Amino acid sequence: MATPKIPTVDLTPFFKEGYEDEKRKIIDSITKACCEYGFFQIVNHGVPLDLTSQALKVSKKFFESPNDAKLKCSPLPNAPVPAGYNKKPNPSYEFNEFLIMLPPGSDFNIFPENPPEFREVMEELFSQFLKIGMVVERILSECLGLPPCVLKEFNDDRSWDFLIAIFYLPATEKERIGANPHKDVSCFTIVLQDEVAGLEVEKDGEWILIAPQPGALVVNIGDALQVLMNDKFKSPRHRVVRPNGRSRNSFAFFHNLSGDKWIQPLPQYTKEIVEPPKYRPFLYKEYLQKRRESKSKNVTRLEDEITISHYAVPEE
Check residue 252 for interaction with ligand AKG (CB under 6 A).
yes
Check if the beta carbon of residue 114 is closer than 8 Å to that of residue 62.
yes
Provide, rounded to whole angstroms, the least separation between the CB of residue 269 and ligand AKG: 25
Which string of DSSP letters, residue by residue, matches 140-205?
A: HHHTTT--TTHHHHH----TT-EEEEEEEPPP-SS--EEEEEE--SSSEEEEEE-SS--EEEEETT
Strand partners, 254: 162, 189
Check residue 240 for interaction with ligand AKG (CB under 6 A).
yes
Check residue 42 for interaction with ligand AKG (CB under 6 A).
no
Among Fe ion, ligand AKG, none, what does residue 199 contact (CB within 5–8 Å per kind)? Answer: ligand AKG
Q: Which residue's CB is nearer to Fe ion, number 151 or number 221? A: 221
Check residue 200 for interaction with Fe ion (CB under 5 A).
no
| Cα Dmax for the chain | 59
Where does this chain touch Fe ion (CB under 5 A) — which range of 49-57, 65-73, 180-188, 270-278? 180-188
Q: What is residue 312's DSSP assignment?
A: B
Q: CA-to-CA distance for 288 and 22, rounded, in angstroms?
A: 37
Q: Which residue's CB is nearer to ligand AKG, number 56 or number 229? A: 56
Q: CA-to-CA distance for 2 and 5, rounded, in angstroms?
A: 9
Interaction residues for ligand AKG, span 162-201 (CB under 6 A): 164, 166, 179, 184, 191, 193, 199
- Contacting Fe ion (CB under 5 A), which of 97, 184, 200, 223? 184
Please identify the residue of the shown chain whose CB is closest to the bound ligand AKG: 250
Check residue 250 for interaction with ligand AKG (CB under 6 A).
yes
Binding site for Fe ion (CB under 5 A): 184
